[in-house]
Amino acid sequence: MNPPSANSATTIPHRCWAEIDLSALRHNLSVVQAQIGPQSGIMAIVKADAYGHGMGGILTTLAGQVALFGVANLAEALDIRAILPEADILLLGATLPGEREAVVRHGLMPVLSTLEEAGHFSKIGPTRIHLAIDTGMGRLGFLPDEFPDAFKKIRALPNLEILAVATHFPVADEDEHFTQNQLAHYAALLPAGVDSHVLNSAGIIRFAAHADRFVRAGLILYGVSPIADYQEKLRPVMTLKSRVSLIRTLPAGHGVSYGRTFITTRPTRVATVAAGYADGYHRRLSNTGAEVLIRGQRCPLLGRVTMDQIMVDITDHSAGIGDEVELFGPHISASALASLASTIPWEILTSVSKRVPRIFLHP
């Protein structure tokens, strides 16, 4: 499925859009399953609108292919429940007291970090829960020295069914020694006979031997590897595209964009592209050497990224008004843009704004 044609009499062509390749999503899912083996199930992390890819199309593709879905909060969980009424959904973040009755009513699974949470859920009604152990992330979970006693107390509470215990890795992509220590510490605390999940995307790649009942696959499902040498196994799911909206020739000595941070040194053919930071193309990419792809040719970004438009140098390349422009995707990776913008690929993907339509390919 392609964006509407610029020549269509009945449709308006997209100026900026995201193509979501569902065949790539299925490919990446198979890569994860092969990596962890058949004994482990996959928890698909679909928070933040499926990492910016569009929740609906991602969910319907993964339904029946994964064991459960992980989201950040109640609102995201209810979005899933509306699409997949029978799905198992884990709330990865802490729930607010005012949200807990809805959590129980909708059959959602919270992750608990305190006895207070457990006591409250026990009073509300039957709840399937996961417990977190904080082995170094510092975000949520019972501290290791308090967990054994807390586990006994929670197991004795009515209405609560402990389905699994979990921990989270802060540096699985950076510090193997620390992560190995985390795994050892966690294993010593894990109660016998209780299901467990510890591996995030980086953990799936580097510590697959520790895959247990579930793994939490996020970035890796969307075809971006947190470990550079694993990237060749994956296929990017999102391609952010725009169009050339204007072509002009500027004389030498002419400024380009706000602040005049770029001044032409020669007569320069400049293509204006109809996308900017309001679409999710980061302003931090300004003057970093970032490029876009037009007709298979890499064209340098000129000056600062503006809200709705960017300018690129096509002096040495061919281009025409209406041409498609790849901002990131299979040829210009989200990871490469993240490096130029001094951020991470997670932010590149989730920054693509709501005004950018998602076009689902290969359903």
Cα–Cα distance list, 330 to 49, 238, 324, 333 (Å): 21, 8, 14, 6
205 neighbors 35 (Cβ within 8 angstroms): yes
Give CA–CA dist 306/316, Å, rounded: 23
Q: Where are the beta strands (DSSP E) in 133-237?
A: 160-166, 195-197, 214-217
Question: Tokens 């000595």 appear where?
Answer: 253
329 neighbors 240 (Cβ within 8 angstroms): yes
| Structure tokens that stand for 120 in this block | 């409250």
Measured at the CA of 170, the angle between CA 119 and CA 92, to 5 degrees, comes to 35
3-state secondary structure of 44: strand
Single-letter residue type at 17: W
| Structure tokens that stand for 268 in this block | 């320069």
Cα–Cα distance list, 87 to 30, 57, 102, 109 (Å): 20, 15, 16, 11
- Nearest-Å Rg of the Cα atoms of the chain is 23
Give CA–CA dist 242/26, Å, rounded: 25
Single-letter residue type at 117: E
Looking at the DSSP bridge assignments, the partners of residue 241 are: 17, 326
Give CA–CA dist 61/206, Å, rounded: 26
Question: Residue 152: which of 178, 188, 118 has the closest Cα?
Answer: 118
Catalytic residues: 47, 258
Which helix (H) or strand (E) covers residue 328, if one does?
strand 324-328
Measured at the CA of 231, the angle between CA 227 and CA 234, to 5 degrees, comes to 130
Measured at the CA of 76, the angle between CA 74 and CA 82, to 5 degrees, comes to 100
